[in-house]
Structures are given as structure tokens and as C-alpha cells.
Amino acid sequence: MTANEAPTQTNFVKQIINEHNSSGRFGQKVHTRFPPEPNGYLHIGHAKSICLNFGIAEEYGGSCNLRFDDTNPTKEDTEYVDSIKEDIRWLGFNWEDREYYASDYFETLYEYALKLIGDGKAYVCELTGEQIREYRGTLTEPGKNSPHRERSVEENLDLFERMRKGEFPDGSHTLRAKVDMASPNLNMRDPVMYRILHAHHHRTGDDWCIYPMYDWAHGQSDSIEGITHSICTLEFEDHRPLYDWYVEQLGIHHPQQIEFARLNITYTVMSKRKLLQLVSDGIVDGWDDPRMPTISGLRRRGYTPSSIRDFAERVGVAKKNSTVEVAQLEHCVREDLNAHALRVMAVLNPLKVVLTNFPEDKVEYMEAVNNPEDASAGTRQVPFTRELYIERDDFMEDPPRKFFRLAPGREVRLRYGYIIKCEEVVKDEDGNVVELRCTYDEQTRSGMPEANRKVKGTLHWVSATHAVDAEVRLYEQLFSKENPDNVAEGETFMTNMNPQSLEIIRAQVEPSLVDAQAGTHFQFERKGYFTVDSRYSVPGAPVFNRTVTLRDTWAKISKQK
């Protein structure tokens, strides 16, 4: 972690830990875990949890385990475990040798189940799924006991063993905890501990045909690993009594579960189910499409690990359901990239400028600063010639007030170059501006005394004879509504897709960019931050992804009217 990140602020999780430390509940020990299910790619919401869990462990001198919660073989895959590990590492966290899997504990869990059965606290139930639901009761009415609830210990042991052996088909039997069918907390109404699933598991293969449910696996896994603080999201609050019940019945180490509010961001969706749908419906390019809020998508988009960590720190941790404005995230990348990205000039929408008084074959090299925020980044030489490209938006034939750029008869500064004046506008038959004929003032080359003359605007440019043609991908929000899930009856979040979320253009970029390496961050001066795409770039033909635009005061002004 770099030293210049915002100082960490307090939150209710740390307060709870502080209380434990002063009461001595865990003997000053702090041991957390990040427990993803390998059934999808990690997204920025997970990043918040990762930063919280690893961050707290680090802050209190403890450690954080990585544990895959792989108890449902029908949804999980090694592709996901690989991507999850890569993403956590990229974010800058290290679980060292503490890489665990809930499936590592299947045998222990089975023995724990035997103990509960032996203690008369669990039983094999033969109700169908539908019957279980009926017997569970409703929110306002208590449930009723399963007819199999009072089987003998011997019979339960026999049946459970045969479940494991594979004697029964899927769905025919479950092992249930004997808690309280009248509990106002539905999770306590004899929850299912094991279900029969004749499915191939990505790690245990065909060793098992019974798999533990989340509630039965999670707390016990925490306990086995000696976790002190089991941090999860709000929807598990109702599960805490069951979490506590299991470890109490077993008489094993009892971690403290703590719940916090998951992250939501405007103009995006954050559920794995919905992200998976975008991928499988081909709406996006894959889990790592630069428009996705996945860690891999953000990485490809050009976000940096420290900007994401900074974001997680800034949004804080609390129990209030909230939606953070995407502007907050964008601020975090801009701040990081402003300090570190090399400046270059690239013209996204070119308009040719001919300097009529500039010698035909002359090439002047202008010294350009690589990063005004960091002198050690040095300078580079940029070729300047008679024919240049400037941004089409930087010229207006009939400019409004406050437009500081080029217009007929007006002067403007070319960054690191000369002050030029627009003398003539060349149009095609349809009246489109195709070229500007300008003159340059040779006394105003950057560095000369005359260059300090006041001119309203400074434009970026690129030499037409040296420019490299490159693909640039401009991204907008994936959804056009602040809350994509806010839809009319019968519609889904898919109706809120933003059809303009990706625009692919050809740009003219300065020659130094031909060999730019994938993943390198640049600031295209006056336009935004861009990074070299890791999928579509090839040596000599870079493809740039726009990470985020620069703050644009002019856009704000011109939109106001």
C-alpha cells in the first residue's frame, strides 16, 4: 500500500473489534477471511469486502484467509477460482499460504453432522422440496414439525450414512437441524444442512453426493480456521442466530459474525446474476468488458489498484443501504492517474490545419513535458510540421461567447508549439469544414519571449505527416438510468441498457504511442485518461480504452445554454 492514500477512518466494524480487544474475547487476535463463491467474477462490491477484510487484518496485525465457499458444485468452476485469485492479487492483497476451500472441510463437516445427529439435534427428512416449504409456515404463521423429526438416533445415522453412499436420488432426503419450527426467524425452522446432489465438484470430483448448505458450512469453516471476525453483508443478519446455534451445539470456537451494507453504484448493476446475464446474452464482451463493474473489467478499462483501494476507503463501511455516485469512483481514478499517467497528444476527431507560412518540408521538434505533476517523468520531442490535425471540436465558425478556441480570424496557442491564426475555412460542396488555413507567428515558439503573449486557448495537435492512426474505444455508462433496476411492471434492468455505451473511433495519435504496451496509462491532453487494451492491441497497432474523461468545464458551460 502506498503511503499517500487517505488516512483510514473509523467504522463500526473496527469499533466492535476494539471492544473485543479490550474485553479480551479473542485475546487481542484478529483473523478475518474473504469467502467468495467461485461462481462468477469479482466486482467492485467484492473489492470493498476484500479491502475491508484484508485491511482490518493488516491494521490489527492479524491475517486474512482466502476461502472459496464451494459448496454448490452445480454453479462453481475453476475458471472462477483462477480469476478470483488473479483479481485479489492485482488489488494488492496477499493471502500467503492461507488458501482454503470449504470443500477441504467436507469430511470434518460430515463428522460434525454425525455429532449433531448423535445428540438428537439433527434428523434425516424425506419431505419433498415443496412439502418442506409448506411445513415451514409463513412469515406470520409458525411452521409444523416434519413427520420424520422424531426418528431414533440409530435410524438417522443409518439413513445419513446411506445418503452419503449414494443410495438415494437427488432431492429425496435431506439432513435437517432440529431447532424450532415455530421460530419467528425462518432460518431457525429446522434448516436443511445437507442435500443430495449427484454432481461433479470442481475439487472433490465424485467423492461426494451430499453437499452442505451455506449455513452449515460457513460458520464451521470459520471456526475451523480460527476466524475471529466473520464479516459478511446485511442479508445474512437473520442467519446469525443459526450461525451461533451451530457452533454452540458443536462446542467449537465461536467467531463473531458482523454484517455491513453491500456497495451499490449509480448507473450500474452489481449482482452476479445480472452480470452473468450481460455476459451470456452477449451484451458485453465478457466478464472483463471495460464497461463491466468487475475487477477485471475495471482493470482493462484502466483503473488502477490503488484507485480502487482509495475508493473503498472513501465510501466507508456502515449498515445503511446506500448507492454511491459513480462520480466518486471516477474521482478516485482521476486523482491517481493525474499523478502518474504520462501526457501525450492525440486527436480523436481530426480536422486538418495547414500553416500556409510554414516551410513545406520542415520538421521542428518541440519539447513536451511528460507529466507536469512529476518532473522525474522528463520530456520528449514531438514533431511539428506544416500540416497538422487539431480536434474538430476546437474550431467553431460562429462561436458563442466564452468559446476560447479557434474561429475565423482568431488566435490560439498550439501546446508546446506556436501561436496560430485562422485565416481561411475550406469547405466541401456540402458545406462541411474540411480544412483550416492558418498562419503561425514564428516569434511565439514555446520558450520564446513572445510566446508569453496572452491568447485565450491552448489546443493539442498532432503532425499530420507523423501521426499514427489508432483505434480508440470511448465508453459511457452501461445503463442510462441511475438505478437500472427501477423499471416498470414486466420490464427488467435490461431495458435500461445504454445503447451508446461503446463508441469505436479512429484517432490520430502522436508517433511515440505506436509501441505503447498493454496496460500502460496515458493522459491524452485535454481529453481524458486512456489505457492500452490488453485484448485487442497488437504490437505496432495499439487500441486505446478511455478510462475516464478529464473534468470538462467547457462541456458544462456549453450544456447550460
Residues designated as active site: 37, 262, 272
Helix or strand or coil: residue 274? helix
Residues 513, 530: contact at Cβ < 8 Å?
no
Smaller CB separation from RNA, 319 or 380: 319
Opening angle at CA 548, ends 381 and 378, nearest 5: 25
Question: What type of residue is 530?
Answer: F
From the CB of 420, what's the least distance to RNA, in Å?
12
Minimum distance from CB of 279 to RNA (Å)?
Answer: 18
CA torsion angle for 547, 548, 549, 551 (degrees, to 10)?
A: -150
CB of 289 or CB of 391, closer to RNA:
391
Closest contact distance (angstroms) between CB of 540 and RNA is 26
Shortest Cβ 195–RNA spacing (Å):
3
d(CA 164, CA 559): 67
Nearest residue (CB) to RNA, 207 versus 535: 207
Angle, CA of 459, 461 and 464, to the nearest 5°: 155
From CA 454, how far away is CA 312, in angstroms rounded?
Answer: 43
* H-helix or E-strand spanning residue 55: helix 44-59
Interatomic CA distance for residues 310 and 297, integer angstroms: 18
CA distance 512 to 382: 8
- Whole-number minimum distance, CB 5 to RNA, in Å? 12
Closest distance to RNA from the beta carbon of 93 (Å) = 20
Which helix (H) or strand (E) segment is 444 a member of?
Answer: none
Q: Which three cell numbers stand for residue 275?
A: 452480470
| Look-up of cell digits 484502466 | 302
**226 within 8 A of 253, measured Cβ to Cβ:** yes
Q: How far is the CB of 209 from RNA (least distance, A)?
A: 11
Q: CA 469, 470, 473: angle at the middle one, nearest 5?
A: 145
C-alpha distance across the termini of the chain, in Å: 45
Q: What 3-state class would DSSP assign to 1? A: coil
If the CB atoms of residues 195 and 309 are measured against RNA, the closer one turns out to be: 195
C-alpha cell at 181: 419450527
Q: In the complex with RNA, which residue's Cβ is closer, 69 or 289?
A: 69
Q: Return the number of the residue (46 or 254) whose C-beta is nearest RNA.
A: 46
206: amino acid identity, one letter:
D
Q: Which helix (H) or strand (E) holds 446?
A: none
Q: Which is nearer to RNA, 327 or 426 (CB)?
A: 327
- Closest distance of CB 556 from RNA, Å: 6
3-class DSSP state for residue 460?
A: coil
Residues 151, 156: Cα–Cα separation, whole Å? 6
Nearest approach in angstroms of CB 182 to RNA is 10
* Full DSSP string of 190-242: S-EEEEE----BTTTBTS-SEEE-HHHHHHHHHHHHT-SEEEEEGGGGGGHHH
Q: Which C-beta is closer to RNA: that of 93 or that of 106?
A: 106
**Short-list 35, 126, 37, CA closest to 74:** 37
For RNA, the closer CB: 285 or 408: 408
Count of beta carbons in the 10 Å neighbourhood of residue 90: 16
**Angstrom distance (rounded) from CA 149 to CA 123:** 6
